[in-house]
A = this chain, B = another copy of it.
Amino acid sequence: MTDDTATIDRADTSEFRSVAAATGEPVGDPFPVHGLSDVDAACAAADAAFDAYRSTDRETRAQFLEKIAEEILAIGDDLIVAAILESGLPRARLEGERGRTIGQLKLFAGVVRSGAWLGLRIDPAMPDRQPLPRPDLRLRMIPLGPVAVFGASNFPLAFSTAGGDTASALAAGCPVVVKGHPAHPQTGALVAEAIGRAIAACGLPAGVFSHLVGPGNDLGSALVKDPRIAAVGFTGSRGGGLALLALAQARPVPIPVYAEMSSINPVLLLPAALASRGAALGAAFVGSLTMGSGQFCTNPGLVLAVEGEGLDAFITSATEALLTAEASTMLTPGIHAAYSKGVETLAGKPGVELLARGKLGAGTTCGQAALFTTTAEAFLSDESLGHEVFGASSIVVKCRNTDEVRRVIEDLEGQLTATLHMDSQDEAMATELLPALERRVGRILANGWPTGVEVAHAMVHGGPYPATSDARTTSVGSLAIDRFLRPVSYQNLAQSVLPPELRDDAARDGVPRLLDGALDLG
C-alpha cells in the first residue's frame, strides 16, 4: 500500500544510513550494506537449516517464538527510539505496535502447540475391500521451505523483521530470510539481533533466520530469484508487489508470492444510519482517515452513499473536522512526495471537487489531509478515481439511488475491507449488498472503521486482486500459517518410517485429525 521507490533507490551504498523521517536528513553512522554473496549465504544457511528446523517438536518451536517476543521486549526503549526516528510515528503508536508484534508471536506459539495446522488425516487400510484393497493412507502438512519476507515501510515492527509474515512462516517450520525495509535499518537491526539471541538460546541452527539490508532493489530481486527460496511475503506498493510476483513467476521453478498491495477500503453509509447520525459519522470518519497520517493499508479512501440530507450532514461535519486535522510526519520523504502528487492529481480530475484540506504541518514531510467529492457517474467513468492514494486522502461518491451504490460496488477492484454504517432499518439493504461485497473484499465490518486490524483467529487481512496477489490467504491472524504449508500423503509406510505425529502411538495431546473422514480429537 505504499510507494516509496524514491527512497529505496539510493545509489550511494557507501552512505547507507538511517534517515530521520521528520527532516529527511541522514543521521548516525553508515550501516554495512549486504551484497549478492550475502543473499547466497543466507539462502544456503536457510536451506541447510530447513530439515532440522521443520523436524523440531511443537513445544520447541512454540518456545522459540515466545523467546523472540521476550528478546524484543528486552531491547527496551532503544527500539522505540530508533523506530520513532526512522518512521516518524509517535511513541504511543510504536509502543502499541511493539505490543502487537509480541502478541502475534505469542499467538503463533499457541497455534503451533495446538497442532491443528498439521492437518492430520488417516484413512486406515481395508485389506479385504473388493474389488481392490484400500491402502493405509496418512496425510500431514509440511512447510514449503525457506521464505523471503520483505519489511514494510508503514509498520516498522508488526509487518517487518519479526512481523506477521516472519511469525507465521517460522510457526509453519520455514526458515526466514528478511529483506529489511531501507527506511528503518536501525530498527530492523535491533530486532534481527533479538531473533539471533532467541535462536542461540533455543539451540537452533543459525540459518533459521537471516536479515539482509541495503538500498536499491538488487538484494530483494536476488532473494526472490534464489532457487532455495520457496515463498515470498510482502507488504508494500502495488508496483513493488507486482515486480516481485513477476520475478517469482519467471523462475525456472515458480513460487507463491503473498503480496499485500493496494486497497481503498470502501465505506458505505446506509440510509437509516445516515439519517440518524450523519454528522457524527462525518466526524468519526475523519478520525479514522487522518490517524497516523492515513498510512494504513485499511485507510478509508472511499465513501459511498445516496445523496440527501443525511449525506449533506456527513459532508459538512467531515469537512469541518478535516479543516482542523493536524498534519503529522509521513514515513519517508518518498511517501510524502507520492502522497502530495496523488492529491494534486485527484484535485485536477474533471468532476472531482475538493471539499477541504487539513492543516499544513510544521515539517517538510507532513501529510496534509485531503477530502474530495464526486458523483457516481464521474467515478464510474474514470477508473483512476478508484486507485489508492497512500495517506490521509479520501473521496465521497454521491449516488443518486441504491442502484448507483450497487453499480459503484460492482465496479470496484478487490479490496481488503468494506465497511457498512447501518441501523436496524438498513439490514435488508445490507443483506442485499452482502454477496457483491463478499466477492470483492476480505473483511466486511459494520459500524466501525477499517483501520485497526485485530490479530485473531477469525481475522482476514487479505482480499481479491489487487488488494493482494492471493485472495486464498490472510497476512494477519492465525490462519496465516496455512500460507506456508503443503500436504504430503504417506501410503503403507512402516510405523518407524512415518513422521511421529502420524504413527499409531503418537502422543496426540488433543491434536485433531480426520480419521476415515470423521473428526477425531483423540
Contact = CB atoms under 8 A, between A and B. Distances in A.
Interface stretch (A12-20, A312-320, A388-396, A490-498): A490-498
Interface in A458-510: 458-460, 462, 464-466, 469-474, 478-479, 485-494, 496-497
Given A445-B491, A446-B497, A497-B431, A514 B457 contact: yes
Contacts of A135: 445, 448, 454
Contacts of A445: 135, 490-493
A251 to B, nearest CB: 9
Contacts of A121: 457-458, 479
Contacts of A438: 142, 488
A256 to B, nearest CB: 7
In the complex this chain forms, how many copies of it are found? 2
A239 interface: no
Contacts of A472: 144, 256, 485-487
Contact of A454 (B134, B249, B446, B519): B134
Interface in A224-261: 249, 253-254, 256
A75 interface: no
Contacts of A142: 438
Interface string A301-315: 000000000000000
Interface residues of A, number: 80
Given A254-B469, A444-B488, A488-B443, A458 B521 contact: no
Given A444-B490, A446-B497, A486-B472, A456 B519 contact: no
Given A443-B489, A491-B443, A456 B137 contact: yes
A145 to B, nearest CB: 7
A433 to B, nearest CB: 10
A487 B465 contact: no
A456 B135 CA distance: 10
B456 A496 contact: no
Interface string A419-434: 0101010010011001
A116 interface: yes
B122 A458 contact: yes
Contact of A465 (B114, B116, B253, B435): B253
A344 interface: no
